[in-house]
Structure 1
């Protein structure tokens, strides 16, 4: 496996990419599970010239789901070697169908010609950012809901106090106690 680090700009924001290229070496279970839990998104790649690799793509997606125990992990499906169309064993429609099954973007690329490679990373980073935004919004909604359920509005009648304190205030009072919700940074682990 190879590791790469790079920084790119996507939608006018910097994106730091730590890329681990496992190149089909998913047989080392402990390491594999570790990088699957740590990864924020995955590019699942198969060769359009190798039907077996296409079937392994489905198995890999199921493995990600099993290890991470979530279905909302950002994924991009990639059919590589589009420059070798004369050796094609997997149709574009089959790739699109699998991407629909995965609910993820799909690209046919050529690493040799660098066709659509950048688009794959852009799509993945956008998915990760969208998932993170949704997590922040969900946390804010939860905090607002909690704040409104904790907030109490008390209308206290002066007669109540008069009966218990043997004194009669001259006016009725409205006491409003509101606990405002807090904005909190989401720890990285909470997003996975």
Structure 2
């Protein structure tokens, strides 16, 4: 006797990485198609967006996390409650990839599942002159040894941003027909956003 399989209609994605690698820029580019060149310190912020696919509605939650990681208990909770992970580093900052290594180990330890959906993202790919991280070496490590997907992106140039989210949702096993809906993702603003009070940052720098 066959059992009907209920399609999944909600997923939570979490973006993790060192401060200043462009996590917020990627999310902002995806949701609003905008780019802010000045760096502002991020506090944990949850965006929720609903897509109507006709026969069903799908809710996507995107958690944007702080790069300071001053609250390990809160980070652990974010990992426990999330379905797929974007680990973001900057191609012009080799140390930021070491943070990705550490975060991956933490995720696998908390989830207790070596097949946890993870996409490793090398952001700021437009900054070719200051590149410190080899695309070929990282791709080999991530895809062959870690068995995860690697993509390079530029929030500044809007390069591979949509592909990042498509890959995250694919790994989270959302319906494949969601992809066309993503192309209409900017028709509405995210329906909800929950954030702690913002923290001021006096220094600023360009991020992409």
TM-score of the two chains, using structure 2 as the length reference: 0.57
1:38 is matched with which residue: 81, 102, 113?
A: 81
Tell me the distance in 2 between the aligned counterparts of 1:28 and 1:40.
20
* Deviation digits for residues 80-139 of structure 1 (CA, Å, limit 9, x no counterpart): 000111110001112202312221111100011221111111111111118xxxxxxxxx
Task: State the match for 2:172 in structure 1.
Answer: 128
Task: State the match for 2:123 in structure 1.
Answer: 80
Larger radius of gyration: 1
| Larger helix fraction of residues | 1
SS in 2 for 1:5: strand
Q: CA RMSD in A?
A: 2.1
Tell me the distance in 1 between the aligned counterparts of 2:155 and 2:46.
17
Task: State the match for 1:64 in structure 2.
Answer: 107
Structure 1 stretches lacking a partner, 5+ long:
131-192
2:71 is matched with which residue: 7, 24, 28?
A: 28
Task: State the match for 1:2 in structure 2.
Answer: 45
C-alpha contact 1:15 1:125 (8 A) present in aligned 2? no
Q: Structure 1 residue 116 and structure 2 residue 144: aligned?
A: no
Q: 1:21 to 1:98 in 2, by over 3 A?
A: farther
TM-score of the two chains, using structure 1 as the length reference: 0.61
Tell me the distance in 1 between the aligned counterparts of 2:56 and 2:162.
15
Structure 2 stretches lacking a partner, 5+ long:
1-43, 175-208
Task: State the match for 1:159 in structure 2.
Answer: none
Q: 1:15 to 1:123 in 2, by over 3 A?
A: farther
